[in-house]
Each structure stands twice: as structure tokens, then as C-alpha cells.
Amino acid sequence: MSKTEKKRILTEDRLREFLREMLLIRRFEEKVEERFRAGELPGFLHVAIGQEAVAVGVCAAMADGDVFGSTHRAHGHTLARGTHPNAVMAELYGKMEGCSHGYGGSMHLYDVERGNLGANAVVGGGIPAMVGAGLAFSMRDEPRVAIAFFGDGATNTGTFHESLNLAQLWKTRTVFVCENNTWAESTPGWQHSPVWDDMSKRAVAFDMHSIKVNGQDVEEVFEKATEALEIARSGVGPVFLDVETFRMHGHYIGDPQVYRAKEDRDEAAERDPIVRLREILQVTSEEWAALEAEVKEIVDVSVEFAKNGTDPQPEDALKNIYA
């Protein structure tokens, strides 16, 4: 399919909105890297630079009432689903205004009002809950879908296999979004999976409908995710989205990537989804500068908001343990 044909799927305005969202996520995460290196952010963090089109495309395809579970690389999913950058940044600073009120941090971003049922720091750990949420929707015959985000590394966990089996068996309203960036932390796909270059074979084993997606093309992600969500929403069964994407940075902020060849990094950089869409839309340098300025303002404001946020009291650590 040529680029011009694709433009018929979405209006140019919508694509420009996608570009803005992707750029916001990119600049937000770059700022997070910067502030982390400056020693302002506790804990440790993982950015998804290079994978913004997956977050934006899938989240844009979701409907009100849909829910999702994310991974340790969750900033993009959370922002793309509409959580305010201030709330995300405040969480990274450990403030009560954060989207998890300081209890979660980067790896546990929640925003239940917007369907974010939590970013999960155990690889594969969040997948089965999306089967259960999809089961609840099926049992009550609600036209809602539960989306599980995970990476290629998670496809080697027991929870992944048990979850796909159960979801397909029970036809739960679930979409599995496999973001295959070909790296499980520092371990390349060819070292961790016999089907690392074709994850849809995982779905085949469970007789599950799968759709291949170029994760660097936000329009295609949106289109295929919309198709997947429609199928799952109809109740005929879950769908596996086999998304090929690229992690442009390391596993965590500060990862020297000694395990990774320069060619591999270069290839990831060449597949930058933002550069790609900017070229397709033929954004002028003036337009681009305006967009950059707009996004920078939002990110800078979020940092100021977070820094001026409220620190929890130490004894707040004993709250929210039981309902």
C-alpha cells in the first residue's frame, strides 16, 4: 500500500495530531532522561524512545471504557491514553499529585479513570489480568476490550502462554499487543526465542487470530489496532497484534548498551517513527519549530509542576494497603 493510499484512512489533521502526540512522548522521555541523569528522579527508569507510534496508534484506537495493562516501559502508553503530562511527571518525582500518588513510580503508572490498570514491573506479570478483565466484559456482554501491552521478552514467560491459551479458549475480549523491539533487556531476540522474527507464530499455537503491524508507521498501527479491537469487542475472540518496532535507546536510562552493535542502533535510528511521519506529512521547518515549541512548553511545565508537587508524609507508606 502506498503512502498516498494510506492517507485516505486518516485525515491529515488526525495524522498531525498523532505526530504531536508522538513528539510530546519523545520530548517528555528525553526530559526524563535528562532529569534522571541530573539526579532528580529516584529509582530507575525505562524509556520507549523509538516505540511512540505503537503507544499512540493503539491508544487512539481504544474507546471509552476500554482498559489496558502496561509494562515497565509505560510513559508512552500512559500519555497516549490521555493522562496529563503533569500527573506522569509528578509520579516520576514521587509526588502525591502523580498519577499513582507517589506509590507507584515509573514502572507502576496507573490512571484507572482512563482505563490504565497499571504498568507492571514483572515481565509478563500483567498479561493474565487483561484476560480476566476481558472475561468480565464477555460475561456481562459489555462492548469493551482489555489490552495487554508486553514485549518480545515476555513471550517466553509462563503467564504469556497460559494467558493466550485461556483467552482463546474462553473468547475473552482481549487484545494482546506484542511490541517486538527484538531486545529482552540486553538479550537479542535470536538468543531468547526461536520465533523472535515472527512473533505471530506464538499466536498460531493457540489458534488465535494475529495481525502483523509495522510499529513505526502510526497510521498502520492505528488501522490494525482498530481492526483488532473491533474483532475482540464483537466477542468472537481475542486478537494478537504482532508489532515490529525498534528501541532506539538502552534497556534503562544509563544503559551503555555494550551488548549492542552500532549497526543495530543505527538501524533503529533510521526507523524513527516521528521522522517518518514528519516526512510523509511534509511538515515545513516553520511548522516543525512551532510544534517543538508547543511540546517543549508542555514538558517544561510538567517538570515545574512535579518539582512543586507535594511530598507524601513518610507514614503515608502505610496507607492504601487494604481496601
Which residues of the shown chain bind other proteins in the complex (CB under 8 A)?
67, 69, 98, 100-104, 108, 110-113, 117-118, 120, 122, 125-137, 139, 146, 158-159, 162-163, 165-166, 169-170, 319-323
Closer by beta carbon to other proteins, 38 or else 323: 323
In a 3-state reduction of DSSP, which class is residue 149? strand
The least distance separating other proteins from the CB of residue 207, rounded to whole angstroms, comes to 14
The least distance separating other proteins from the CB of residue 134, rounded to whole angstroms, comes to 7
Closer by beta carbon to other proteins, 158 or else 256: 158
The least distance separating other proteins from the CB of residue 136, rounded to whole angstroms, comes to 4
Closer by beta carbon to other proteins, 184 or else 248: 184
Closer by beta carbon to other proteins, 120 or else 193: 120
- Residue 182's region, left for phi above 0, alpha for psi from -120 to 50, else beta, is left
The least distance separating other proteins from the CB of residue 113, rounded to whole angstroms, comes to 8
Closer by beta carbon to other proteins, 102 or else 215: 102
Q: How far apart are CA 98 and CA 95, in angstroms?
A: 5
Closer by beta carbon to other proteins, 22 or else 184: 184
Helical residues (DSSP H) of 38-74, grouped into ranges: 52-61
Q: How far apart are CA 111 and CA 57, in angstroms?
A: 19
Q: How far apart are CA 85 and CA 96, in angstroms?
A: 14
The least distance separating other proteins from the CB of residue 159, rounded to whole angstroms, comes to 5
The least distance separating other proteins from the CB of residue 142, rounded to whole angstroms, comes to 9
Question: Which residue do the cell numbers 536510562 mark?
Answer: 253
Continuous segment of H or E residues that includes residue 183: strand 183-184
Q: How far apart are CA 315 and CA 74, in angstroms?
A: 27
Enter the DSSP assignment of 105. -
Task: Concatenate the DSSP letters of all residues of 208-242 into one string.
Answer: -EEEEEETT-HHHHHHHHHHHHHHHHHTS--EEEE
